[in-house]
Structures are given as structure tokens and as C-alpha cells.
Amino acid sequence: MSTGLAGWITCRQVLNIMVIFGFMLNYALRVNFTIAIVAMTKTIVNVATGADDTTGLNVTDTTVADLSTTTESSVINEADKFEWDARQQNLMLGSFFWGYVLTELPGGRLAEIIGGRRVFGYSMLWASLLTLLTPLASNTHYIAVVILRAVLGFFLGASWPAIHPLTAVWIPPMDRSKFIANMMASSLGAAITMPICGFLIATIGWQSVFYFTGGLGLLWSIIWFMVVFETPASHPRITPEERNEIESAINAAGKKKKPSYVPWKSIITSPPVWAIILTHGASVFGFFTVVNQLPTYMKYILHFNIKENGLLSSLPYFGKYAMAVISSHLADYLRKSGKLSTTATRKIFTAFAVMTPGFLMIIQVYMGEHRSWAVGIFTLSLFLNGAVTAGYLGNGLDIAPNFSGTIFGMANTLSSFGGFVSAYMVGVLTNENQTYGQWQIVFWILAVVYITGSSAYVIMGTGELQAWNNPPEKGDGNGETEEGVPLNQRNQAAVK
């Protein structure tokens, strides 16, 4: 077996490990302020409006609430806390989203041009440095925090779509489901970050949260640039055997270059692309409606404070990651063994992960008044949703590896607004009318969205490579391209 670092671990294994920790820290850098703000303010107020937590797989309103009981017990004197009112807190929390949505699509395309290693690595590096500056910004003025958080979102927004182009050049097609599951390590970050930050606040103070997460992010970034490289061909320590194994599987060695332009018309009019966008939007909308609104529903309808049970609060996050890993290994096994085609695999797992929660919401309509049923259904729906990694989440790599970053950037940009819509929808339906009847409407809407989105994928989705993945270069009529290799390295690749 080919070996890499220190002669006992392959370069792909190193990449897997770094991506797992990278997404865990990615989540920590996003939510540390959301957790710490409870202890930073003189008066604990409800800042959960939903508007600040509307991006894929990031901070949820429950994060603030889950840590409130812990972070209230802070070593910081009350007189040293900030007098931020609810409006100012919402502004600081929501500003992250302003920058985040701006770089999803550009970040994906940039990773296709200069490489995912640089985009993901520098996104995390700058985000870590900004995190270390958060205490200074907080002591300066709340507007300084607003600006800092917006810039932080700007950098982290580019990180998620950057992984797909990196996957295209490092991971053989039949192993990509397992690698994409690493993105769900953000769920592990959710489950781990909350108690760690709560402990730090209670024992050292809220500033320690930013120094701890920012310091870890900075350390990770340094190691990332030391051990991860854009392509197997550019890795100085990869063995010839591992490089040949990767390049042979990807079938890129004999091709010439990567497309120098994006066939926007073909992408925008492609049914498989819209299948990914629609089901991703439905999945994110459902996920954040369940996660953000569950505590409210439990409190007003079932008169039960789920936030007081730390295990119950963290269980969905652990479960989602476990399902992502299990389902992705199964999906790649089914594809590699020939038992299922890529198309069939993606459709089955997407239906399982997105359509099944829709049917669970229908059960919730009729059984949701019972506490055990309600908690069980919500937890199960989040658990099953982890299987998206074996379904549509990495499907852009199947249909167009050369533009996988662009496709995911499109999908994540549009789905980011799902949280806004979700919070607004629930607010309109339940404002001063917290009745089970109104929540039944919410569940019906969730059911329709889940089932409609997944049905769109079942109908239009495919695992087949699209012709526009290799558009002819303007002027030469040659459609041969090197799959996934960063555009700025195409001349180097051509002479190898």
C-alpha cells in the first residue's frame, strides 16, 4: 500500500483527517460568538430570531439557548459585561450571514481556478485571525463586531464549496461519498463546541472562547499548508504508487487541461443541477426549521425545556454525523461492487435522507402532541438527514467534477435563504398564537417541502457525467480536459 506522511499513512488519509478537523473548527469559528454573547451581555435576553442562523449546516438558535444556563455562570463580573440590547445583539449575530452568502458561488469557482487547498486553507486562516481579534473588537464598539463578523462570514462562505474541487483531484470517484461525509464533521463540531465553550466561559471567561478556537484554527491552518497540496502531482512526499493509483482511478493522466470558462447556459439549464439545488434547499429548510424551532415548540406546546437536557440537545448532531459516515460507506460499497449504479445510489439515499423526514412530519401532524413521539420524530428526522452525503451532496462531482465547486456554491447560496424563510414562516404562523393547530400547519409545510424537494431529485437527478463538463475550448474545438486540476496549473499538467 502506498504511504505518505512518516511512511505509515497515505496522503489521502492525511487529507481526510485534516478535512474532518477543518470542518469541526469551521463550525467552532462560526458559532463561538453566538455561544459567548450570552455571557458577554449584562442581561440575558432572547436573541433567537432565526435571521442570523440561515446558512447550511452552521449555528442554530438552539446553540444560544443550550449554553445559556452554562454561560450565565461566568467568572466575568457583571459590571464588566456589555450593555448590548437585543437589536444590537441581533445585528452582531446576523452580520455573519451578510458576508457568508456573498462568497459561496465565487468561492466555489475560485477553488476551481486556483485550487481548493488555497481557498479552504486561507479561508480558515483569515477566519482564525479575525476570531483572535474578536475580544478587541468587542471592547471597541459593537459596530466593530458587526464588521468583523461580516468579514468572518465572507471568508468562511468560500470554504464549503472549495472542498468539492479538491475532492475532484484527490479522491477516486468510487470513494467520494465517504470523503464528502467529512463535511458533516461540522455536526461533531456542534456537539463538541457547545460544552467546551461553556466550560471555558464558566472557568476562565468569555475571551478564552475566541483565543481557544482562534488559536486552534490558526494551528490547523499552518499544518494544513504543510501537509496538504493541490494535486497528487504537486505533492512532494507522495509515493509514485499512490499518485498512480489516484490518477488512474480519476482517469486524468492523459488529458490536457481544465476548461478555461464556465458554460453558464448549460449549467443553469441543466435539470440535474436544478435537482441538486432544489433538494439541497428543501433539506436545509427542513433542517433549520426543525433545529431552530424545536425548543420553541417543546416549550409552548409540550411544556418541556429540551435545552436543559444536554445529551438530548447534542444527540441529533452526533447522530447526523454517524449516519453520514455509515450511509456514505454503504453507498460507495454498492457503487464499487456494481450492485447499484451511481444514479440509483444517489436517488435512493437522497429519498431516504430527505423524503423520509417528510413522511415523519406527517406523522408529527397527528402524534406531535405527545412528548415522546415529538422528540423521537424530530431526532429521527435529523438522524436520517445525515445520509445526504451518500445522496445529492456530492452529486456535483458525479455530473461535472470540473464545475463541482460552482454547482455547490449555487446550491448553498440559494439554500442559505431557507433559514430566513423558515424563521419568518414560523413567526407569522405562531406569533401570539402558540397552539398545536398552528404548529400542525408548520409540520404540513415541512412535509410538502421535504417530499417535493426530494421528488425533484428522484425525477431529474442523475449520476452520469454531463457533456458540458468538458466544453470545447473556444477556437480549438477540443473537448479534452483534465478533470478537476486547478486552472492555473493546466500548463504544468500539459507538460507532465
Least confident of 61-65, 298-302, 412-416, 455-459: 61-65
If phi over 0 gives left and psi between -120 and 50 gives alpha, with beta otherwise, what is residue 75? alpha
297 and 426 assigned to the same domain: yes
322 and 440 assigned to the same domain: yes
192 and 274 assigned to the same domain: no
Average pLDDT, the chain: 83
Residue 126 lies in a domain: yes
Least confident of 37-41, 188-192, 251-255: 251-255
Residue type, 240: P
Residue 198 lies in a domain: yes
Dihedral, 53, 59, 61, 63 alpha carbons, nearest 10: -170
Q: Which of 103, 84, 180, 131 is nearest to 397 (CA)?
A: 180
Residue 43 lies in a domain: no
Given a cut of 50, whether residue 120 has pLDDT beyond it is: yes
Residue 328 lies in a domain: yes
Q: Where is 159: in which H helix or E strand?
A: helix 159-170
Identify which has the larger pLDDT, 8 or 263. 263
pLDDT at res. 106: 92
116 and 186 assigned to the same domain: yes
Least confident of 141-145, 292-296, 339-343: 292-296
Assign 294 a pLDDT band (cuts: 50, 70, 90): confident
Mean pLDDT confidence for 22-26: 94
155 and 267 assigned to the same domain: no
pLDDT at res. 235: 92
Residue 61 lies in a domain: no
317 and 463 assigned to the same domain: yes
Task: Give the count of beta carbons closer than 10 Å to the beta carbon of residue 348.
Answer: 17
pLDDT at res. 230: 92
Residue 477 lies in a domain: no
Given a cut of 80, whether residue 68 has pLDDT beyond it is: no
Contact 484, 113 (CB under 8 A): no
pLDDT at res. 475: 62
pLDDT at res. 43: 54
pLDDT at res. 197: 84
Residues pairing with 41 in the sheet:
82
Q: In Å, how far are 59, 102, 122, 129 from 155, measured between CA atoms?
A: 16, 9, 8, 11
464 and 341 assigned to the same domain: yes
Given a cut of 70, whether residue 483 has pLDDT beyond it is: no
Q: How many residues does the chain have?
A: 496
Identify which has the larger pLDDT, 446 or 375. 446
Mean pLDDT confidence for 249-253: 66
Contact 478, 218 (CB under 8 A): no
Mean pLDDT confidence for 69-88: 64
How many angstroms separate the CA atoms of 427 and 494, rounded?
56
Residue that is last in its domain, among 209, 231, 253:
231
Contact 488, 115 (CB under 8 A): yes
DSSP secondary structure string, 290-350?
HHHHHHHHHHHTS---GGG-HHHHHHHHHHHHHHHHHHHHHHHHHHHTTSS-HHHHHHHHH
Q: Give the highest mean pLDDT range of 38-42, 186-190, 292-296, 404-408.
A: 404-408
Residue type, 291: V
Given a cut of 50, whether residue 471 has pLDDT beyond it is: yes
270 and 227 assigned to the same domain: no
Residue 275 lies in a domain: yes
pLDDT at res. 58: 36
155 and 282 assigned to the same domain: no
How many angstroms separate the CA atoms of 455 and 463, rounded?
16
172 and 221 assigned to the same domain: yes
Number of compact structural domains in the chain: 2
Instruction: Residue 206: give its domain's CATH number.
Output: 1.20.1250.20
3-state SS assignment for residue 41: strand
Mean pLDDT confidence for 14-21: 94
Given a cut of 70, whether residue 253 has pLDDT beyond it is: no
CA angle 105, 110, 112 (to 5 degrees): 105
Kindly report, residue by residue over 345-360, the tens digit of the pLDDT. Answer: 999 999 999 999 999 9
196: its cell numbers: 467546551
State which residues form the domain around 163. 11-38+84-231
14: its cell numbers: 492525511
Mean pLDDT confidence for 91-98: 84
362: its cell numbers: 406527517
270 and 379 assigned to the same domain: yes
282 and 212 assigned to the same domain: no
Residue 73 lies in a domain: no
Residue that is last in its domain, among 187, 211, 231:
231
pLDDT at res. 77: 65
Name every residue whose Cβ is closer than 8 Å to that of residue 277 and which is 6 or more positions away in sequence. 410, 411, 414, 415
The rounded percent of the chain whose pLDDT value lies above 70 is 82
DSSP secondary structure string, 436-456?
HHHHHHHHHHHHHHHHHHHHH
